[in-house]
A and B are shown apart, each in its own frame.
Chain A
Amino acid sequence: MQPIYLDNNATTRVAPEVLDEMLPVLRDHYGNPSSMHSFGGSVGALVKKARARTAQALGCRPEEIIFTSCGSEGDNTAILSALRANPEKRHMVTTRVEHPAVLSLAKHLETRGVAVTYLGVDAAGRLDLDELRASLRKDTAVVSIMYANNETGVVFPIPEIAAMVRERGIAFHTDAVQAVGKIPISLQDMPVDYLVLSGHKLHAPKGVGALYVRRGTPFRPFLIGGHQERGRRAGTENTPGIVALGRAMELAVAGIKDENTRVKALRDRLERGLVAAIPDSIINGDPENRLPNTTSIAFKYVEGEAILLLLDTFGICASSGSACTSGSLEPSHVLRAMGVPFTFAHGSIRFSLSRYTTDAEVDTVLTEMPGVIERLRKMSPFSAATDEKPSCTC
């Protein structure tokens, strides 16, 4: 059975056009770009082309792009670089809804003497920019705020935030892993110091990403070793991955209109249809400022893992903010930060679409989902009737 893949914020299918450019590099052009011979040198030319394509897509200079292995590497490199470049500053600002690549690093830095301010969000997942302004201190080394949230798709006003932070002379980093390829981004228009993206979220393969470092921003490498990436990231280049990323970035720019019209319309049809057909369901997040491909819907009285496993029997792939899927016992930190009631948070499901999502696939979900929820609700001891008498010892 061909899966109905609606989990594109987790990872994406490699675009056929990307695969076509990547395979010859994997198979034939296996030279090392650092080598003196022309066999290796020709691969260096491919890397150069990929760098130019990536820069072009982001509206920056090629030398501002450092290829990495993944989003987490980019985030770690950027934040640690900003801290090492400002050793006298021991404060960092981030949000409570970041990806673990930033959040776990921040927690770790706290054990190393860095003070961290975690900004909260409102019920719709929005930041309070006044709170951000008030959090900036003389000893703030870096502000790290994601471009768009992976779970709810809520988009933060990064150009405005970057301007505010930069005005204070503080380095600004944004984890744009979920945003690149889904909404238009131009680094010409915003004073961001570090921006991170990941290939496998935009139809390139896993194992490649990029870190943008603005020209003039102090930089301290994370991986020390060879001179690759102009001494800023040691390690022999993942040449097939880099070539793939270059092509994927080009496709992302070309497809940005489709993403924000056709894909968005599919997403809207999906979420409106589900909320209309299923009682006691709500949409999580800010409907105004959201990625065009993402919807997070909470279904009361049922639990997320059970929903996912029943959807799986129909070949429908989605994900959940439920505790039971992660092995932790608390529902997603993002939904908790938004104050989504436990009663809804446990039954939250995320559908994330892509350029490959079809009308027929959305129809299948609209057909099957009400039955899935009904089946689980029939089994559940809770319903609207039991809401009046909470029996909570928690």
Chain B
Amino acid sequence: MWEYTDTVRDHFLNPRNAGTMDDADAVGEVGSLACGDALKLFLKINDAGVITDATFQTFGCASAIASSSVLTEMLKGKTLDEAKKITNKDIANALGGLPKEKMHCSVMGQEALDAALKNFAGEAAPAHEPEGELVCKCFGVTDVQIRRAIRENGLTTLEEVTDFTKAGGGCGDCHERIGQILAEELSGVVAAPKAPGDGAPKPLTNLERMRLVTKVIDEEIRPALKNDGGDLELVDIDGRVVLVSLRGACVGCPSSKLTLADFVEKRLRETVDPEITVKEAR
């Protein structure tokens, strides 16, 4: 059973502002029946650009309904400019937090808001014409959505991207592409596509690099090795040299050298820094 906060439970059991709005000035719609969750957000906006009323219709789990409900409460009385600044984090925080596997529910709220604001401004609803490159075909997630989630929530692993956007949670075919997007975002090389050559990639500071190496090893590399009965320990990080010590089934395994070069080093180069070398501590 999920550990939902009392606020989540309250908004699920007693949803505020559920229902359609016949005279809505803006409607934002994201998700679908097939995806497993969907949200339709209705806004009433007065001449001064203040949101005077908000309602929702949601298909989804308890946290999706609670995220929608709390979002409508947050929106009432806000100006359009204030509403634009609402992030998925704000929605999750208003609920006292969400289980990490459910963070995509808060992202859905933020995206529906985004769609509604664009609808008000006379732009096409992005749910039907997704901008950017379609990365996850199972859940219809684009690179624009993934990059936004990475930036706004400081995501560093594939698992986190899936928790927040659902991308990669289905067939898994897009895992490699998400890895590339992550690497681009994390290394800062994601130069604005419209202005190539503008601004060299921002190099990681030593501290950032160390934190990222630790995170990738703990959350990605070690679980993968453990699947095969192995394990490794991070001994030291000296600039771009990562010193590790093999554990478990990796000890004395004839292919452990290959594992270090082909998997550990390759993965760290992809996600952290292309110049990283991995050495075994003696």
Would you call B57 and A379 a contact (CB within 8 A)? Answer: yes
Closest to B58 in A: A379
Closest to B104 in A: A329
Would you call A305 and B62 a contact (CB within 8 A)? Answer: yes
- The docked-state distance in angstroms from the alpha carbon of A201 to that of B54 is 48
Would you call A390 and B32 a contact (CB within 8 A)? Answer: yes
Would you call B57 and A342 a contact (CB within 8 A)? Answer: no
**Which of A177-185, A319-327, A363-371 forms contacts with chain B?**
A319-327
Q: Which of A303, A331, A390 contacts B59 (CB 8 A)?
A: A303
Chain B residues closer than 8 Å to A394, beta-carbon distance: 32, 34-35, 137-140
Interface check B166, CB cutoff 8 A: yes
Q: Which of B57, B101, B128 contacts A391 (CB 8 A)?
A: B128
Interface check B179, CB cutoff 8 A: no
Would you call A380 and B59 a contact (CB within 8 A)? Answer: yes
With A303-B61, A324-B36 known as contacts, the answer to whether A391 contacts B170 (CB < 8 A) is no
- The docked-state distance in angstroms from the alpha carbon of A390 to that of B18 is 22
Chain B residues closer than 8 Å to A322, beta-carbon distance: 36, 61
Q: How far is the CB of A2 from chain B (nearest CB, A)?
A: 19
Number of A-B contacts (CB under 8 A): 100
Would you call A302 and B59 a contact (CB within 8 A)? Answer: yes
Chain A residues closer than 8 Å to B228, beta-carbon distance: 111
Q: Which of A306, A325, A346 contacts B12 (CB 8 A)?
A: A306
Would you call B57 and A380 a contact (CB within 8 A)? Answer: yes
Interface check B19, CB cutoff 8 A: yes
Q: How far is the CB of B14 from chain A (nearest CB, A)?
A: 11
Q: How far is the CB of B280 from chain A (nearest CB, A)?
A: 24
Interface check A46, CB cutoff 8 A: no
With A329-B162, A330-B170, A379-B58 known as contacts, the answer to whether A301 contacts B33 (CB < 8 A) is yes
Q: How far is the CB of B248 from chain A (nearest CB, A)?
A: 16
Q: Which of B45-89 contact A (CB under 8 A)?
A: 57-62, 64-65
Interface check A188, CB cutoff 8 A: no
Closest to A326 in B: B101
- The docked-state distance in angstroms from the alpha carbon of A380 to that of B140 is 20
- The docked-state distance in angstroms from the alpha carbon of A391 to that of B128 is 7
Interface check B182, CB cutoff 8 A: no
Would you call B65 and A379 a contact (CB within 8 A)? Answer: yes
Would you call B61 and A391 a contact (CB within 8 A)? Answer: no
Output the residue of A302, A310, A379 with the most chain B CB within 10 A: A379
Q: How far is the CB of A249 from chain B (nearest CB, A)?
A: 31
Interface residues on A, range: 20 to 34
Would you call B60 and A303 a contact (CB within 8 A)? Answer: yes
Output the residue of A108, A305, A379, A393 with the most chain B CB within 10 A: A393
Chain B residues closer than 8 Å to A393, beta-carbon distance: 32, 127-128, 130, 134, 140
Q: Which of A300-347 contact B (CB under 8 A)?
A: 301-306, 309-310, 313, 322-325, 327-331, 342-343, 346
Q: Which of B6-61 contact A (CB under 8 A)?
A: 12-13, 15, 18-19, 29, 32-40, 57-61
Would you call B29 and A381 a contact (CB within 8 A)? Answer: yes
- The docked-state distance in angstroms from the alpha carbon of A313 to that of B62 is 13
Would you call A329 and B128 a contact (CB within 8 A)? Answer: no
Chain B residues closer than 8 Å to A301, beta-carbon distance: 33, 59
Would you call B101 and A342 a contact (CB within 8 A)? Answer: no
Would you call B40 and A303 a contact (CB within 8 A)? Answer: no
Q: Which of B40, B57, B62, B169 contacts A329 (CB 8 A)?
A: B169
Q: Which of A378, A379, A392 contacts B32 (CB 8 A)?
A: A392
Would you call B62 and A306 a contact (CB within 8 A)? Answer: yes
Output the residue of A111, A327, A390 with the most chain B CB within 10 A: A327
Would you call B60 and A391 a contact (CB within 8 A)? Answer: no
Q: Which of B18, B60, B138, B227 contacts A324 (CB 8 A)?
A: B60
Would you call B169 and A381 a contact (CB within 8 A)? Answer: no
Chain A residues closer than 8 Å to B58, beta-carbon distance: 379-381
Q: Mark B136-177, 1 if CB is under 8 A from A, else 0.
A: 011110000000000000000000001000100110000000
Chain B residues closer than 8 Å to A382, beta-carbon distance: 33, 38, 59
Chain B residues closer than 8 Å to A305, beta-carbon distance: 61-62
Would you call A329 and B18 a contact (CB within 8 A)? Answer: no
With A329-B166, A329-B169, A394-B139 known as contacts, the answer to whether A381 contacts B36 (CB < 8 A) is no
- The docked-state distance in angstroms from the alpha carbon of A336 to that of B183 is 33
Would you call A378 and B19 a contact (CB within 8 A)? Answer: yes
Chain A residues closer than 8 Å to B128, beta-carbon distance: 391, 393
Q: A303-B37, A394-B140 are in contact. List 11 more A-B contacts (CB 8 A).
A: A303-B61, A313-B13, A325-B61, A329-B166, A329-B169, A329-B170, A379-B15, A380-B59, A381-B39, A393-B140, A394-B138
Between A and B, 21 residue pairs with Cβ closer than 8 Å are A303-B59, A303-B64, A305-B62, A306-B61, A306-B64, A310-B13, A328-B169, A329-B138, A346-B33, A379-B19, A380-B58, A381-B58, A381-B59, A382-B33, A392-B34, A393-B134, A393-B140, A394-B32, A394-B34, A394-B137, A394-B139
